[in-house]
Amino acid sequence: MAENIGFVSTRFAGTDGVSLESAKWAEVLWEDQHISFWYGGRLDRAPEISLCIPEAYFHHPDNEWINQKLWGNTRRLPEVSRRIRDLAEYLKETLYEFVNRFEITRLIVQNALTIPMHVPLGVAITEFLMETGLPTICHHHDFYWERVRFQISPIADYLEMAFPPRLPGMQHVVINQAAREELSWRKGLSSILIPNVLNFDKPAPHIDDYNADIRQELGLDDKDILILQPTRVVPRKGIEHTITLLRMLGDPRCKLILSHGVGDEGVEYFQRIMQLAQDEGIDARYFGDRINDKRHLDDQGRKIYTLDDLYLHADLVTYPSLYEGFGNAFLEAVYYRVPIVVNRYSVFARDIEPKGFRLPLMDGFVDRHVVEEVRKVINDADYRQQMVDHNFALAREYYSYPVLRYGLQTLMSNIIHAM
């Protein structure tokens, strides 16, 4: 039976993991006749199927004031408690409006009951579900206990109540095995593991008239090797390892392209990486101001490209992350058949590597074996082609839409049988 599904989060806009995976879920649910509607503080979904509440965005001034008073502190001021309760009460009213307006029959909460970037929203959702009993799926991308900045706070009560809550009729979904075990140990909650996916049955786009000039816009010539770092420039991405790799390669053709900015974690690491590249004699170029989720011209008349456009021109992707909840950039590189260098972050080592992917692997540092493997990938076209074709076939088997469809059908069936 077709359902009206309400997706709820702080943001559904842009290229962050939550927004991207939510869109994939909605696409697969649509194939089973389920209609998706969207609630958030920042949205790029169609207005006729969404409700945008600015106060639900984690960067809204009210929420930023609350966060400044919470994280890194051990006591909560009375006015902070009042602001949390007042904002939560308002947001709860808007959730009722959302559900009533679109006749929502099921909710899918995307990370808003996982990581406490917006405590009032988490409280509002939890109380709304306690009051309504609406069947709900919680899709958890990264828990607060996985992030250092959320370790010290005066909100143990709210974390226990809402991140995530223990409610009857609620189903929990995680994206890696370690999260599944931690959720069980910390909260006593069972969960289903559904990894991030891509539609590997959909043909990849090609170089076209719009994106054909990216290398020229980057200042590269035909002999240059485009090394793509397709992540935000934040400490957990381990980009200093990419600098070390390129230094040890010693190939002046290699140009490092940074495709993203710093996000909400400050500019210090970005500045340090650019200085490190300069000190090591590495040509690193920032292109994040020319990448967006949609093609367009900016106010200077310059072309704005998508990350897909960059992948089409990349010769090698570097992914030296210290930690990832899953690793969308890994799947994207495999989809575009670009070889990728990966640091064996814990989720990769446990969940992805055993599948049998072939790629240069770091184990916390760059050694000569990794450098020689990368050199072979760059210089041996046949070897490189065999590698990317093998990886594509594996990813299509383990991380394509049929895997997601099976998981969602199981979840929807569980909801029906629990009623």
What is the tens place of the pLDDT at every residue in 58-71? Answer: 999 999 999 999 99
What is the tens place of the pLDDT at every residue in 185-215? Answer: 999 999 999 999 999 999 999 999 999 999 9
How would you classify the pairing of strands 106-110 and 136-139? parallel
For residues 333 and 391, what is the distance between their CA atoms, to the nearest angstrom? 10
User: What is the arithmetic mean of pLDDT over 307-320?
Assistant: 97
pLDDT of residue 282: 97
What is the tens place of the pLDDT at every residue in 109-144? Answer: 999 999 999 999 999 999 999 999 999 999 999 999
DSSP class of 349: I
User: What is the arithmetic mean of pLDDT over 31-52?
Assistant: 96
The amino acid that residue 22 corresponds to is S
Cis peptide before 164, with omega less than 30 degrees from 0?
Answer: yes
3 state DSSP class of 319: strand
What is the tens place of the pLDDT at every residue in 371-389? Answer: 999 999 999 999 999 999 9
pLDDT of residue 17: 85
Q: Domain coordinates of the chain in residue numbers? A: 4-197+401-418, 214-398
User: What is the arithmetic mean of pLDDT over 24-34?
Assistant: 95
Residue with tokens 């974390």: 159
- Per the DSSP assignment, residues forming a β-bridge with 329 are none
Contact, 318 vs 213, CB < 8 A?
A: no
pLDDT of residue 414: 83
Average pLDDT, the chain: 95
User: What is the arithmetic mean of pLDDT over 139-167?
Assistant: 95
The 3-state secondary structure of 375-392 reads HHHHHCHHHHHHHHHHHH
For residues 10 and 117, what is the distance between their CA atoms, to the nearest angstrom? 9
What global pTM score does this model have? 0.91
Query: Which parts of 266-367 fold into alpha helices (H)?
Result: 268-279, 307-313, 328-335, 346-347
User: What is the arithmetic mean of pLDDT over 310-327?
Assistant: 95
Residue with tokens 């590495």: 282
Please state which architecture CATH assigns to domain 214-398: 3-Layer(aba) Sandwich (3.40)
pLDDT of residue 264: 61
Does residue 344 register a pLDDT over 70? Answer: yes
Selection from 304, 293, 391, 289 nearest residue 23 by Cα: 293
pLDDT of residue 157: 96
Q: How many CA atoms lie within 13 A of 134 on its CB side?
A: 27
Contact, 233 vs 287, CB < 8 A?
A: no
pLDDT of residue 416: 61
Q: How many CA atoms lie within 13 A of 271 on its CB side?
A: 4
What is the tens place of the pLDDT at every residue in 223-280? Answer: 999 999 999 999 999 999 999 999 999 999 999 999 988 766 678 999 999 999 999 9
pLDDT of residue 417: 53
Please state which architecture CATH assigns to domain 4-197+401-418: 3-Layer(aba) Sandwich (3.40)
For residues 58 and 72, what is the distance between their CA atoms, to the nearest angstrom? 18
Does residue 418 register a pLDDT over 60? Answer: no
pLDDT of residue 15: 78
- Per the DSSP assignment, residues forming a β-bridge with 40 are 52
Confidence label for 332 from pLDDT (cuts 50, 70 and 90): very high
Contact, 40 vs 118, CB < 8 A?
A: no
